[in-house]
Structure formats: C-alpha cells, structure tokens
Structure 1
Amino acid sequence: MDKEELLSLMRARSYRPMTAAELMSSLGINDGEAFLKMLNYLEEEGYIVRTRKEKYGLPEKMGLISGFVHSSTKGYAFVVPREKERQDVYIGALNLNGAMHGDLVLARVLPASTGRRQEGEIIRVLKRANKRVVGTFTAAGRLSFVVPDDARLNQDILIPPENTLGARVKDKVVVEITRWPEPRRNPEGRVIEILGPMDKPGVDVLSIIKKYDLDPEFPPEVLREAESLNREIDPGELARRRDLREWRLVTIDGADARDLDDAVSVAALPDGNYLLGVHIADVSFYVREGSALDREAFNRGTSVYFVDRVIPMLPPRLSNDICSLNAGEDRLAISVLMTITPRGTVKDYELFPSVIRVRERMTYDAVRSILEKGDPELSQRYRELVPDFRLMAELAAVLRRRRENRGAIDFDFPEAKVVLDDRGIPVEIIPRRRTVAEGIIEEFMIAANEVVARHLYELAVPAVYRVHEEPAADKMEELNKFLAFFGLHIRPGRDGKVKPRAFQEILLNVKGRPEERVISTVMLRSMMHARYAGQCLGHFGLASPYYCHFTSPIRRYPDLVVHRILRETWSPSGLTPQRLAELETFVARAASRASERERLAEEAEREALDMKKVQYMERHIGETFTGVISGVVPYGFFVELDNTVEGLVHVSNLVDDYYHFQEEKLALVGEHTGRTFRIGMPVKVLVARVSVDARQVDFELVDVLSEPEEKEIVPHTKEKRRRKAVAVEVGTRGKVSERKRSKRNKARRVRL
C-alpha cells in the first residue's frame, strides 16, 4: 500500500481512527516495518495525526489543520492549509506558541471564531523551516543578538557571549538556532559564519545566497571529478557522431553569458521549406548517472543568476569550458534538425549525437542591430552570416504565428537590468523588452523542446516533462471578478474548460491601454505555476500537448535527464523492462526536486533584484519620477515607475480630502471632491522614504498627468472579423481553414 491509497482509505466516511496494529490487520499488511515508516513519514509531514491513544486519522477529521505558517511583519500570521480548498486560518501573535515563518504546523480553530475569518492557535510544530538564519549582529549593553534579514522572522535571536564567534556590531552573520522561541521568550542561537560588515561590497547579495541556503562552492570530490575530465575529444567518439563542424552555426546570448549551451543553424530548402538546426551541448556525455557531478547537479537542480554573480549547477570547468559551445572549438552536442513548412508545421525531424564547431559567438544586441538598424560595421564584420540572421528572423515569425494561431498566451513584460558599479552599487535600471534577436532564440528553443517531448512520448519511455496545467476553478472565479471591473470576462469552452485562447483574447483587447500591465499581471498570477513532472500533461500557456526542457542541460537538471534518456533510446540493446521501471521512479524524484529548486532559485533571484532596485531608489530620495498606478488598496495605491520600480502612495499622504476605497470600482474616491485614483492612471510621484531592509519604497503624489477616458473595452476590429469568419466557416464546412486562422490577432509571449 502506498501513501495515496492509505490517505484515500482515511478519507472514506466509514473510517474511524485506528492504531497501527489495527490498520495492518484490517489491510492485511505483512511488512510492518515499512508500514510504520510510512505512518511516521505521513505524521511528520502533517498528512495524518496520531492521537494520545496511538490512533491515526486525518487532521481535518479531528478539527485540526495542517499547513505552513505565513507570518506578517506585524507579528500575526496565517496557517495556509495543505488542502487547497480550505481557507487560511488567522493566528494571533499570542497563539503562535513558538512557531516561526515557514514552519509546518498543526493548528486548531478556536471556538470563538466568527464571521468569514477563521482564527486559531498552533498546537504543534511538525517541521522547522529556519534552522539557520541570516541577519545583522548587534549588541545592547551585555546582550548580543541578531536581527533577522527576513522581516517575517519578527523576533531577534539572542546570542550568548560564548557563541558570538567574534562578530562585531553591524556584521552580517549566519546563526544556527539552538533554542526555539517560546511564549514571551526569544529564540537563542550561535553564530556559525561571519559574512562581513553589512556595508562591504557584495555582502548584501551574499546574505541572500546564505538565506536561501545556496552554496557558491562545490565539494572537493566534485571539483576533482570535473578536473579529471579530458578536454580533448576522443577520436573514437568523433567517429560515432555526425560531423557538423563545417556548418554555419552560431550562438546568440546575452553579452555577459558564459554558459553557452545552445547553437542554431538555418537553411532555405529548394522546396520552400526551412531546415532549422538546434544543437545543444552534450552534457550527459561528461556528467554520468550516479557520479559525484551528477549527485551535486541533482541537489542543486538549477543555476541561480544574481545581478552580480552566478551560482552554477555544474563547476565552471564544465559550465564555462568543456561543455560551453565556445566559438572556434570542437564540442560534443545533441542535434535536432527540423524541416519546417512556410506555415510553421514541423514536417520531419532528426535527433542524433553530433560534433560541432560554432562559427561566431553573437549577442542579442549585435543581432538586433544588424536586423533592425542595419548597422554597417556589424553587417560588414558578419557579412557571411547576415543572410542567415534574416532567414532566422523570417522563420521565427512563422513559428510565432503558428503558436499564436493555436492560442498560445504571450505576456510581454519588460525585464529590468540593474547596472552595478565596481562596488556593487546600482547606478542604473534599464527596462528591457524582447527584441527580434531574443524572439529568434525563444521560438527555436520552443520548437526543439516540443519535438523532443513528442518524440519521447511516442516512444513511451519515462521522461521529465515541463507541464503547465489549466487554471484552477477558484482562481478563474477570482480573476473574472477582477476583470469585471473592466468589462471583461473569460468564458470556458463548450466542454466547460478554459482554453488558452480565452486568455489570449483578453490580452489582445487590453493591448495599449493604461491598465494593460496590471491586467496582464493579475492574469499571470491566476495561472498555475509551470513545473516538472513525470507525466506528459501538456503546457497550457503554450497551448502545446507535448513539452519538455531539452535546450539547457548546463544549467537545468531536467534537461540533463532528458538527454540521458535520449542517449539510452539510441542504444542497440534498447531499454529493458527493469531499466524502464528504474527510470519511472527516478524521473518522478528528479521532477519533484527540480521543481522545488526552481521555485527557490526564483525567489532568491527576485529578492536580490528587488534589493538592488530599492538601493537604487535610496540614492534618489527627494527626486520625482513618472509612473502608472498599478494597484489600489484600502490604505493607498501602488505606483510602478517607468524603470519598473514599484512603491506605495499611502492614503495618509493624500491631504486634499478623505479617501475611501470602493471595492466595486477598484478605486480610491475622495469623500468631498469625488477625486478618483484608479488603476492605469499616469502620475508623477516624489520618492519620500526608502527602506532597504524592508525592500520598501514610499512615494508622495506630485501630480496626476492625465485622466484616462472611461470607455468600454471592445474586441479589436480584426478580432471581430475573425470571429465572424470562423462562425461562417464552421457553419458551412465544419472546420476553420488555415487561411482564416492566419488572420487571427495574437498575443506575444508566455512565461515558460
């Protein structure tokens, strides 16, 4: 019996709490040791509860809630249940009973709870989330303590004199908690690492790295294994591969990229089709299953990219050298050649091991300058490749139209690049949108990922897929309530399911309007988070039934697993039933671990970027900026500046009237003047206060630049024509022709 079967049994109405012996007897279980291990695991993870009489049952059937603590900076918290359908439970500061932010706990709902909000108290901490904490060392008289960087850990950690490790006031340190908090008693700890003075360059980002328990250093045995790899390619291995070294291959990446794992080639075929080549570094040749390198890559899951450094998944010996597709050097690769029609359909493909030699290392800026500006100097320097770049742009547009015609969603958010000086101080924030160069690589990589995913699916072998499920019903209900303020609504299809095209049409309708960014953001948050899985569940955002990650094995573990499985399918002996069973188990573990590490990396990267943005604004206190109201709440409104920084205008700073939040209008309205602040209004604000520790920027309103017109959002003219054409086509011939499909309006980008 596995976990799900046991939980299903306990969910049955007829189930009554039983002891372990009673469960084993009624279920006919002979392996008592394994069964007890499973019960202990489920209890530790909060799936089941053991009573004082040693009986097991579900928390929800015993008036308890299992979940994670989400603390507020003001002292109170919420327990977010494991069961998504259950509402959060409010926990007052006096009812935390020693629990801290992130802990897995059991809570009990208090009988006095009234109204819609449930209130409770924590009765047991099942798993601690903060065994180590990063903070600032300080002292008051004879007392030493550490103030956590994470404001949600709102208790200082006391440090006994013998446990300071010689830390000085204002040092950033890592503390190991030795005594957990109790009611009216702070936690205690010992300093285990001193990161350096808080104002020393690089210590701020290092603090975030340590907070998320990321390790910039590799274990000695991993480094030794990396150094032992032969940089020269064995002639025997060359003979077993297709030789593409004379092909015109290029890499196109950011100027500061060092781990180059994808190269591309393109050619026009005599029959009017395109031949697209996507050539990926064959990392699986060097990182063998079960090796020290492999175990470390599995644990890390992904490379993590900060504003001033990278924590790679693989040691630099591989990521920047042996595996990186550096120009002019022979490299082992796995190539996928796709024959693509002018309509964007993959007519045929080949997958095989290859040896390649990249002709040029191109940057996005250089390719964009050649294609969009016709830069004469760059065009002359790369004159042999300019026709290829033009053909790449043409093919990318074909592939993008094909994706959009099937309903793929495209959120085109500007990304912010923070420019630092040599001391790590931010001197500029540059909003960057995707250009034709980024679009080329994005479309080519999506095409390769889809081909590989379908190939593995049709072979019926285990694999790690990239999945993006359709939005949950409750999220869609909340989203439609929000969209109703703008006269919009996402409707399900005839089968009752929401289709990607419904999102696409909303994005099309609001394109160019002041509230476009806000609506896009809320829509994105309503969707499921893409993740890895051992089952091919499709990708909602891309409107694709088959998708995996194949194109970045240097920096993502799932891609490395996909490469390994491909190599095994090429083996003359094939995959034995025993090996298939092993892979089935392994891909489930690898997918779960990779999803977990990806979420952690995203949080760490986002926090570091937000910190640098706030540091930048700290140098501009008293200056004015223009922006757009991006959100309205009862206590004020948020403004997003042109440089992507967001800050709050608190209602207390609106001194010309008393303002009230009108939820039905998502607006603040003046009591006497009727003056209204709503989403999308362009404003000028002054930077009043900045808190780097809290990652918070406070603005004061200077002026409203213009009042957006109140008008109904109606479908784009072309969209009206498309709907009419589709109705006629379906009514007369029962299907939609490709010619009509090609006239549909499309959105542009989706977070993969």
Structure 2
Amino acid sequence: MEEKEKIILDFLKEETYVPMKVNEIALMLNVPKKEYQNFIEVITKLENEFKIQKNRKSKYSLVPENMYLNGTFKGNEKGFGFVKVENRDEEIYICKTNTNGALNGDKVLLQIVDSKDKNNHEEGKIIKIISREKDCLVGLFTKNENYGFVVPDDRKFRTDIYISKKNIGKAKNNSKVLVQILKYPENNKNAEGKIIEVLGNVNEAGVDILSLIKEYQLPYEFPTKVMEDVKVIKDEVNKKDIENRLDLREEEIFTIDGEDAKDLDDAVQVKKTENGNYILGVHIADVSNYVKEGSNIDKEALLRATSIYMLDRVIPMLPRELSNGICSLNEGKDRLCLSVIMEINKDGQVISSDVKKSVINVTRRMNYTDVAILLKHSNNKKTKENKYLDVDVAKEKIESLEKELEVVKKYKPYIEHFKLMEELAHILKNRRSKQGSLNLDLPETKIVLDENGFAIDVKKYELSFANEIIEQFMLTANETIAERFYWLEAPFIYRVHEIPEEDKINELNKFLYNFGYKIKGSKDNIKPKSFAEVLDDIKGKEEERVVSTLILRTLKVARYESENKGHFGIASNYYCHFTSPIRRYPDLFIHRIISYYLEKNYNIDDKFKDEYSVKATNSAEQSSEREKIAQKVERDSIDIKKAEYMQDKISNEYDGIISSITSFGMFVELENTIEGLIRFEDLGNEYFIYDENRKTLVGEKTSKVYHIGDKVRIKVKSANKILRQIDFELIQEESRNMSKNIEKQYEI
C-alpha cells in the first residue's frame, strides 16, 4: 500500500502534471484492469488523509503544503482545547464549535482559520479525527432501573457514558469500572459504552490506584513469553561472564539507597591519592549482559521504557526476578557491572577517566538515613579517643539517639569511607554551583499510608547530605560518559535540556521585578548562571519557594534525544542517563553501546554507527513519551492521596502561601506541600480583578491586592479524590481577628 501511495504522490508532484480524474491517472500509471479497484482504494485513502484533494470537476491534485496540519488535541473540560503540532513551539487554539468531536489526546488534522491572537496562539478548525487516543475509560458507575451511566475520571472527556441494561454486566452502584466506548459523543449526544471490568467499590482499599493503572493502560503484568525468557536466566553470576572483566570483588564498595529500595543498580567508592586527588568509582549493574537486544524482555522493556512509582507499588521496566535479583547489586553477591573510574582534583574537575567491564561484590547495603547518622556523628568529635561520637551527649539523648549509636557501632569500620565521600561530594557540588547549576531545592511530598493503603499523613520528604553524595556522584558519572562518547561520535542517547524561551523569561522577569530580582542576559546569551544567581539571592527568604517554583515553570522540560544539545539545568555541555539501567531504557541502550565499543576495542565501522543512530532516535522518542506518562501517573497518584488525606479535614483551618494566581482563582500551598484552589466565589464578598501581567488579584472596592507568595489563612472547603481536587476558602482578616479576640476573651 505504501509503495503504491508513493507512486501516486510522486506522479502528482511532477512539474508537468495537471489535475486529472481518477481513471486518467490510472491510465497514465498503466494500472492493470484487475488492480483498478485496489487503485481506487489507495486514492480514497490518500484523499481521506488530506494528502490529495478533488475539485468540483472530480480532478485530483496535491494538497498544498501546510494547508493542513497534523497534531494532538489537548482538550479542556469546558469544551475548547489546543492542538500541539510537532516542531512548533506554540499550540493552536481550537474553540468549542471547531473541535469536530475531538477528545483529549486524539490525533487530528486541522486547518488554520485565524492568525495569532493576543496570547500568541493561532486559531484552527479540526477537519478530521485521524485516530482516537482512548477506546476505554475508567469512571464511576451509577445504576438506574433500566440503564446506567459512567462519569469518567478524565473530566476532559466532557460527557457521561450511557450504558444500556445489556452492557452493565456485574457492575453495582458506586463501582469504579473500565468501560469500552462503543459510540463516541457527537451532535450533543452522550457517548455509549459497555462495562468490561469492575474494579471495585469507589471506597474500597486500593481501587483508587488500580483505577489509575487502568486509566493510563499501564502494563501491570509481564507477558508469558517474557517470563519464560526470565526463567532461563540464572540467579548467580556465570564464571565465564567474569573472564576479561576488571575484578573489584576485594574492594570496599557500597550501595546507598532508600530504605525500601530493592532494585539497586549503582554502587560507589572513593579513595584519595598521594597527590591529594580523589579516585571515584561508580559501578552500575551490567543489565545489558542479561537483557539481550531484540529479546522478548528487551522489547517489553522498550515498550515500558521506564519504571513507574505509585506510592505503595511499582510497575517495573524489568521483571522483579531481574530487577531485584541478578541485576541488583545486593550485598555480599558477585555482580557484573560497567564501572566508571574517575580521577578528580581538588577543584572538582575530572582530569582522567576510564570505563571498564567489571565484577564487584558489595561490602555493605547502606541507606540514606544511616549514612546521614554516620556523617553527623563523625563530625561531632571532642577528643581523639572519642573520634566518631561524643558519648556524653549520646547518653543524654533518648531512644532515637541510642539507635543512632547502634548504627555508628555497626558501621564503625567504614566511617572513613563515608567521610571521604562527603568531602568529595562537597567539592563536586561547589564546582557545579560555580558553573551555574540550578539548585531549585523544592520539597518533595512524602505520603504515609496505613496497612490498607489509605493516606494517614502528608509531609515534606526529608533529604540529607547522604542523598546529595549519590546525586553528585551520579551526575559526574553521567557527564563523563556523555562527553567521552560524544567525542567518539558514537550513536547515543543524550539527556537534553535546552535554553528557556525568551517570552517565558520576559514573563518571569515581570514577576521577579516585584521582589527586586532579574534574570540577566541578552536574547542570544542566556546562561544558567543568571538563574543560579537569583536562586542564591532568595535562599532562606520568604519568597524562596514561590520564586523557585516559577523558575521551574519557566524552564523547558528535559527529554531524550540522539543529538547532544547540552543540559541547561545543570550547566553542562554533555549529559546522559547511564546510571539506572534497571529502571530506564536510555541507560540500558547506552550500556549496549559502551559494551560494543569495549568489545571492539573502539574500532567501530560506519555500518554499526548508521544502524544504531536510527535505533537511538527511535528509543529516545519512545523513552521521552513514556517518561511523560510516568510523570503524570506519579503526580496523579500523589494528588489522589493528598485529596484522600484531606477528606476528613473539611472546615479545618490552616496557614499557607499563595503559590499561583490564575484567571479563575488562586492556589494556596500548605506547609505539608498540599495545594488547594480558592475560587473567586470563595474569596469573600468582594469581586477581584485578575491582573495577568503582575499575576495579582485586585479587589474592586477596597483595592486589596493578593500577590504570589502572600501568607493567608484558609479553611478546607472540599476534597475529592476522584477529581484529585482540593478546594479552600479564604478566611477574611475580620474573621481571623474575631477568632483571636474570642480566644483571648475566653482564654481558649
């Protein structure tokens, strides 16, 4: 079919071509009579795809270039939307009457109908829906006497789904269900569907996260053929695989991860040389030794491209038998690695490096908490005898400190290793800061679940310098590998983070002006250092969180590409992801490239480079797309649990800061990272005007102004875990003062 399409299109592109009827084209192309019907089908397909067009005389010609555009429709629950067209920065606005029934995520063909508006958006009209993004949806089922309907979790779907009596199956009222769409909504009629799976009652434990898995069509289980291949892989290192590898099994090497981590793909060690330099060894599990290119396991890994973490469960890229077994750098077990050995001077510069295939045996499986304890007490010394711990202080402490003492005692033989790691990590971090690496320091959310999976606490995730050690070491290894293979002109996957758009920087500067800050630099000379200087200036100030958040929103999203474009956020000319091949496909791809170069002693022919350059591009695109989905899922899972946690706190009052101001209200973030929306109607008795340039709300009567970063007192109005939405009400100053007076009067 594709070959026949090309023949027709090439014919219509010829300079001498004049519009012809279909039988005339067939005659010119010598189409046999027996193939004429098939020829008509190809013509019809090209016409339906708007590649060719027919005039009033039924004569065909090519559709002019750029007359129609392909893109992805991003719908809004109010009915309008935008289309993202590849290789275009600005999205195209589609009003409600021009959506042509397109739903969020659909691939569409559109035509531009108006030039750019004040928001820099062209306006378009959807001509054709090329393909639907979803044929199944998750939602809440409500049953009536002779029929039912499903309210989709995805509000951008815009309509409820009608379920006839014969298509209800075993669904009960208030069940979360998976519904197959039989008819899409059109002409103001609801969609129709059939329930194909009942997930459970809406309030049943685990149903919320299961709904998320079904909504995003995540591959929760591995195919049988993949698991059959896994069974063949032995859970012990084969002696033949050790041959010709650098043997580091006698070295003291450590993994440092979260306490609950089971897939341990990186281990580290640091030594100091006589000249004062450091030898940093970063040892990464050699997953490519077990996951062979083109195997069933590899194909499934590329399909998933990343592991997805949803609080109490993980959808892994690789089967757990591998990720937690032979590929995991478990303590006391021989494991195959790719090791990056770097010599680093006192300024944090990598002055030499090498990458080797190796075999290691991890000395100790450490966690961030224990390493932080060791570093804390190793720096709390009074005398030579009391080198690692002030015992007098320890005795005064209660149970928590006694536990710390046990940790110190347990790992006392290795403390010098971690002190050296801390020393080097500080040097590397300082070097990055001087380069202009952006340290946004935005708190992550930690959600505590009970044994049934219900949220019982939400708080900031506490990080220590132990986390920083691993981050700095991994960054350095990733940079070293990226730079090495860039100069080798190897087919590769880079982690790319480009310079922010000028318009966004200008918008940010309008806001920063209110605080006395500015991102300096000309249009063609924006450096990470300009952003880093602002981040340094706000350190420890009230506006730190808000400014950091807005800077993050200004930056572009990092992605994978086969072409190196540098990484703006870490102020690096070369960067890749090499250190997590258990959970990221680009890392696994890079491991294969490295292994091939090592096996061939860096003598690589052009055929290999050409073949793997194509594979690098395809793998990078797939990995970037799957990463977007993973981030959405992880974000949604947190939002669900935040809303769940707040459901029994309706009418509670809290202090917070205004984190964002929009045309429909303002968002307020609480100390524990929970964010809620205060709509205009919940701002009190006054009407507020949205100032888009200053990102403020101004009271029409009192001229009261709300800025991003202002402290406010709120009351929880509602929390809906299905909508993943929390609403607040603003407590007026008068009400707050009255409450304080009552408390004072009655000594509450």
2:101 to 98, 102, 122: 98
1:400 to 409, 429, 436: 429
Q: What residue in structure 2 maps to residue 265 of structure 1?
A: 269
Matches within 5 A, 1:512-551: 512-551=540-579
1:552 to 571, 580, 584: 580
Q: What is the SS of the residue equivalent to 1:693?
A: coil
Worse overlay, 64-73 or 621-630: 64-73
For residues 562 and 20 of structure 1, what CA distance do their matches in structure 2 show? 53
Q: What residue in structure 2 maps to residue 150 of structure 1?
A: 154
Measure how far apart 1:635 and its partner are. Answer: 3.7
For residues 580 and 604 of structure 1, what CA distance do their matches in structure 2 show? 35
Say whether the 8 Å CA contact 2:340–2:477 is kept in structure 1.
yes
Measure how far apart 1:143 and its partner are. Answer: 1.7
Say whether the 8 Å CA contact 1:684–1:702 is kept in structure 2.
yes
Does 1:329 pair with 2:333? yes
Q: What residue in structure 2 maps to residue 386 of structure 1?
A: 415
Q: What residue in structure 1 maps to residue 243 of structure 2?
A: 239
For residues 684 and 637 of structure 1, what CA distance do their matches in structure 2 show? 13
Does 1:57 pair with 2:63? yes
Go from structure 1 to structure 2 and tell me whether the alpha carbon gap of 1:40 and 1:696 turns closer, same or farther (over 3 Å shift): farther
Q: What residue in structure 2 maps to residue 750 of structure 1?
A: none
Structure 2 runs not aligned, ≥5 long: 4-9, 26-39, 379-403, 737-748
2:665 to 636, 645, 650: 636
Q: Deviations over 1:718-737 (max 9, x none)?
A: xxxxxxxxxxxxxxxxxxxx
Go from structure 1 to structure 2 and tell me whether the alpha carbon gap of 1:461 and 1:660 turns closer, same or farther (over 3 Å shift): closer
Measure how far apart 1:151 and its partner are. Answer: 0.9
Measure how far apart 1:679 and its partner are. Answer: 1.5
Q: What residue in structure 1 maps to residue 88 of structure 2?
A: 84
Q: What is the SS of the residue equivalent to 1:508?
A: helix
Does 1:429 pair with 2:458? yes
Go from structure 1 to structure 2 and tell me whether the alpha carbon gap of 1:544 and 1:19 turns closer, same or farther (over 3 Å shift): farther
Go from structure 1 to structure 2 and tell me whether the alpha carbon gap of 1:244 and 1:149 turns closer, same or farther (over 3 Å shift): same
For residues 15 and 611 of structure 1, what CA distance do their matches in structure 2 show? 62
Q: Deviations over 1:532-559 (max 9, x none)?
A: 1111221111111111111000000110
2:321 to 317, 328, 350: 317
2:206 to 194, 202, 208: 202
Q: What residue in structure 2 maps to residue 507 of structure 1?
A: 535
Amino acid at match of 2:699: G
Worse overlay, 472-481 or 139-148: 472-481
Percent identity over the alignment is 41
Say whether the 8 Å CA contact 2:665–2:678 is kept in structure 1.
yes
Q: What residue in structure 2 maps to residue 28 of structure 1?
A: none
Q: What is the SS of the residue equivalent to 2:599?
A: coil
Q: What residue in structure 1 maps to residue 617 of structure 2?
A: 588
Measure how far apart 1:371 and its partner are. Answer: 1.5
Q: What residue in structure 2 maps to residue 171 of structure 1?
A: 175
2:145 to 141, 144, 167: 141
Measure how far apart 1:432 and its partner are. Answer: 1.7
Say whether the 8 Å CA contact 2:161–2:190 is kept in structure 1.
yes
Measure how far apart 1:414 and its partner are. Answer: 0.3
Q: What is the SS of the residue equivalent to 1:385?
A: helix
1:654 to 665, 679, 683: 683
Q: Deviations over 1:126-146 (max 9, x none)?
A: 121112211122222312222
Measure how far apart 1:49 and its partner are. Answer: 4.4
For residues 294 and 489 of structure 2, what CA distance do their matches in structure 1 show? 24
For residues 569 and 140 of structure 1, what CA distance do their matches in structure 2 show? 66
Say whether the 8 Å CA contact 1:99–1:181 is kept in structure 2.
no
Say whether the 8 Å CA contact 2:72–2:106 is kept in structure 1.
yes
Amino acid at match of 1:359: T
Go from structure 1 to structure 2 and tell me whether the alpha carbon gap of 1:15 and 1:429 turns closer, same or farther (over 3 Å shift): farther
Go from structure 1 to structure 2 and tell me whether the alpha carbon gap of 1:66 and 1:567 turns closer, same or farther (over 3 Å shift): closer
Q: Deviations over 1:417-455 (max 9, x none)?
A: 101011111001120243201100000000000111111
For residues 218 and 40 of structure 1, what CA distance do their matches in structure 2 show? 40
Go from structure 1 to structure 2 and tell me whether the alpha carbon gap of 1:312 and 1:362 turns closer, same or farther (over 3 Å shift): same
Go from structure 1 to structure 2 and tell me whether the alpha carbon gap of 1:385 and 1:38 turns closer, same or farther (over 3 Å shift): farther
Worse overlay, 78-87 or 144-153: 78-87
Go from structure 1 to structure 2 and tell me whether the alpha carbon gap of 1:87 and 1:281 turns closer, same or farther (over 3 Å shift): closer
Measure how far apart 1:86 and its partner are. Answer: 4.8
Amino acid at match of 2:448: V
For residues 389 and 379 of structure 1, what CA distance do their matches in structure 2 show? 12
Say whether the 8 Å CA contact 2:652–2:715 is kept in structure 1.
yes
Say whether the 8 Å CA contact 2:690–2:696 is kept in structure 1.
yes
For residues 69 and 367 of structure 2, what CA distance do their matches in structure 1 show? 52
For residues 685 and 713 of structure 2, what CA distance do their matches in structure 1 show? 16
Q: Deviations over 1:141-185 (max 9, x none)?
A: 312222211111111122233333322222222222222221122
Measure how far apart 1:104 and its partner are. Answer: 2.0
Worse overlay, 373-382 or 618-627: 373-382
Q: What is the SS of the residue equivalent to 1:355?
A: strand
Worse overlay, 101-110 or 200-209: 101-110
Go from structure 1 to structure 2 and tell me whether the alpha carbon gap of 1:389 and 1:186 turns closer, same or farther (over 3 Å shift): same
Q: Deviations over 1:19-39 (max 9, x none)?
A: 99999xxxxxxxxxxxx9999
Does 1:283 pair with 2:312? no
Does 1:696 pair with 2:696? no
Q: Deviations over 1:266-288 (max 9, x none)?
A: 11111101111101101000001
Say whether the 8 Å CA contact 1:20–1:55 is kept in structure 2.
no
Say whether the 8 Å CA contact 2:177–2:199 is kept in structure 1.
yes
Does 1:645 pair with 2:674? yes
Go from structure 1 to structure 2 and tell me whether the alpha carbon gap of 1:680 and 1:113 turns closer, same or farther (over 3 Å shift): closer
Go from structure 1 to structure 2 and tell me whether the alpha carbon gap of 1:299 and 1:664 turns closer, same or farther (over 3 Å shift): closer
Q: What residue in structure 1 maps to residue 391 of structure 2?
A: none
Say whether the 8 Å CA contact 1:132–1:175 is kept in structure 2.
yes
For residues 62 and 463 of structure 2, what CA distance do their matches in structure 1 show? 54
Larger-gyration structure (1/2) = 2
Measure how far apart 1:211 and its partner are. Answer: 1.0
For residues 440 and 609 of structure 2, what CA distance do their matches in structure 1 show? 38
Matches within 5 A, 1:590-739: 590-655=619-684, 657-702=686-731
For residues 41 and 411 of structure 1, what CA distance do their matches in structure 2 show? 51
Q: What residue in structure 2 maps to residue 477 of structure 1?
A: 506
For residues 357 and 118 of structure 2, what CA distance do their matches in structure 1 show? 64
Go from structure 1 to structure 2 and tell me whether the alpha carbon gap of 1:433 and 1:143 turns closer, same or farther (over 3 Å shift): same
Q: What is the SS of the residue equivalent to 2:484?
A: helix
Q: What residue in structure 1 maps to residue 77 of structure 2?
A: 73
Go from structure 1 to structure 2 and tell me whether the alpha carbon gap of 1:696 and 1:245 turns closer, same or farther (over 3 Å shift): same
For residues 453 and 486 of structure 2, what CA distance do their matches in structure 1 show? 47
Say whether the 8 Å CA contact 1:629–1:681 is kept in structure 2.
yes
Measure how far apart 1:609 and its partner are. Answer: 0.7
Go from structure 1 to structure 2 and tell me whether the alpha carbon gap of 1:542 and 1:362 turns closer, same or farther (over 3 Å shift): same
Measure how far apart 1:108 and its partner are. Answer: 4.5
For residues 379 and 42 of structure 1, what CA distance do their matches in structure 2 show? 72
Worse overlay, 413-422 or 102-111: 102-111
| Count of residues in correspondence between the two structures | 682
For residues 358 and 324 of structure 2, what CA distance do their matches in structure 1 show? 20
For residues 140 and 430 of structure 2, what CA distance do their matches in structure 1 show? 52
For residues 488 and 112 of structure 2, what CA distance do their matches in structure 1 show? 51
Q: What is the SS of the residue equivalent to 1:382?
A: helix
For residues 630 and 340 of structure 1, what CA distance do their matches in structure 2 show? 41
Measure how far apart 1:219 and its partner are. Answer: 0.3
For residues 317 and 42 of structure 1, what CA distance do their matches in structure 2 show? 48
Say whether the 8 Å CA contact 2:114–2:122 is kept in structure 1.
no
Say whether the 8 Å CA contact 1:80–1:89 is kept in structure 2.
no
